[in-house]
Amino acid sequence: MKRIFSIAVFLLAIFAYQNESEACTTAVISGKYTKDGRPMLWKNRDTWAVNNVLMYFDDAKYPYLGLVNSKDREGKSIWMGMNSTGFAIMNSASYNLNLHNDEKLTGYEGRAMRDALASCRTLGDFEAFLDALGKVSGLEANFGVIDAEGGAAYYEIGNEGYVKFDANDPTVAPFGYIIRANYSFTGDFGKESSGYIRYNTVNEIFYHKSSTVGLTPKDIEQTVTKGLTNSLTKRNLFEIYGDIPENTPKYEILQDYIPRTGSASSVVVQGIMKGENPNLATMWSNVGFPLASIMVPTWINGSVDLPYVVKYNEEVKDSPVCFAALKLKKEKILNIRWGKFASKYINVNALYNRDGSGITQIVNKKEDEIYKKATEMQTQWRLDGASNKKDIKTFYDWIDKLVIETYKEEFDIDISKDGLHKYEMIEEGKNSMKGIN
Does the pLDDT value for residue 206 go beyond 60? yes
The 10 Å CB-count burial string (b at 16+, else e) for 86-111 is: bbbbbbbbbbbbbeeeeeeebbbbbb
Whether the per-residue pLDDT at 332 is higher than 50: the answer is: yes
Q: What is the pLDDT of residues 72-121, one digit of tens each?
A: 999 999 999 999 999 999 999 888 887 776 655 556 899 999 999 999 99
Mean pLDDT of 148-160: 93
With a CB cutoff of 8 Å and minimum separation 6, the contacts of 287 are 52, 53, 54, 67, 265, 293, 296, 310, 319, 321, 322, 325
Alpha helices in 191-254 (DSSP H): 196-210, 217-219, 237-241
CB neighbour class for 275 (10 Å; exposed up to 12, middle 13-18, buried from 19):
exposed
Helix, strand, coil shares, percent, the chain, to 5: 35, 20, 45
DSSP 168-198: T-TTT-TTSEEEESBS-TTS--STTSB-HHH
pTM: 0.92
Residues 412-431: tens digit of each pLDDT: 999 999 999 999 999 885 44
CB-CB contact of 130 with 157 (8 Å): yes
Residue 253 belongs to a domain: yes
Q: What is the pLDDT of residue 138?
A: 66
CA distance 339 to 329: 17
Say what the pLDDT of residue 137 is. Answer: 53
Read off the pLDDT of each residue in 260-276 and give the average, rounded to a whole number: 97
Label the pairing between strands 296-298 and 152-158: unpaired
Rounded to 5°, the CA angle 48-52-54 comes to 150
Position 253 scores a pLDDT of 96
Domain enclosing residue 103, as ranges: 9-433
pLDDT tens-place string over residues 383-405: 999 999 999 999 999 999 999 99
Question: What pLDDT score does 187 carry?
Answer: 83
280 phi/psi in degrees, rounded to 5: -85, -15
Q: Which amino acid is at 101?
A: N
Question: What CATH number has the domain bearing residue 21?
Answer: 3.60.60.10
On whether residue 272 sits in a domain, the answer given is yes
Residue 2 lies in a domain: no
Q: Which residues pair with 321 in a beta bridge?
A: none
For position 78, what pLDDT does the model report?
A: 98
Write the DSSP string, 121-151.
SSHHHHHHHHHHH-S-TT--EEEEEE-TTS-
Alpha-carbon torsion, ordered 335, 308, 380, 149, to 10 deg? -80
Among 387, 376, 174, 375, CA closest to 280 = 387
Can you give the pLDDT at residue 58?
A: 94
Q: Domain total for the chain? A: 1
Q: Does some domain include residue 49?
A: yes
pLDDT in tens, 171-202: 999 999 999 998 888 888 877 678 999 999 99
Note whether residue 306 is domain-resident.
yes
Which pLDDT score, from 0 to 100, does residue 429 have?
55
Are residues 272 and 77 in contact, defined by beta-carbon separation less than 8 angstroms? no
pLDDT of 160 over the 90 cut: no
Q: Return contacts of 428-433, CB within 8 angstroms, 24+ apart.
A: 428/48, 428/50, 428/262, 429/48, 430/48, 432/48, 432/343, 433/47, 433/48, 433/50, 433/261, 433/262
- Cα–Cα distances (Å) from 3 to 92, 154, 285, in that order, read 21, 17, 35
pLDDT 10s digits, 7-16: 333 343 333 3
Predicted pLDDT of residue 139: 81
4 located within any domain: no
Does residue 255 sit within a domain?
yes
> Residue 13: what pLDDT?
34
Cα(377)–Cα(392) distance, rounded to whole angstroms?
9
Q: Does 212 fall in a domain?
A: yes
- Helix axes of 389-411 and 320-328: crossing angle, nearest 10 degrees: 30
pLDDT in the model for residue 33: 84
Largest Cα span, the chain: 62
Task: Give the containing element (helix H, strand E) for 364.
Answer: helix 359-384
Contact 93, 106 (CB under 8 A): yes
What does the angle CA 3 – CA 7 – CA 10 come to, to the nearest 5 degrees? 145
pLDDT given at position 192? 67
Give the percent of the chain with pLDDT over 90. 78
Give the three-class secondary structure for 24.
strand
- For the chain, give the mean pLDDT: 90
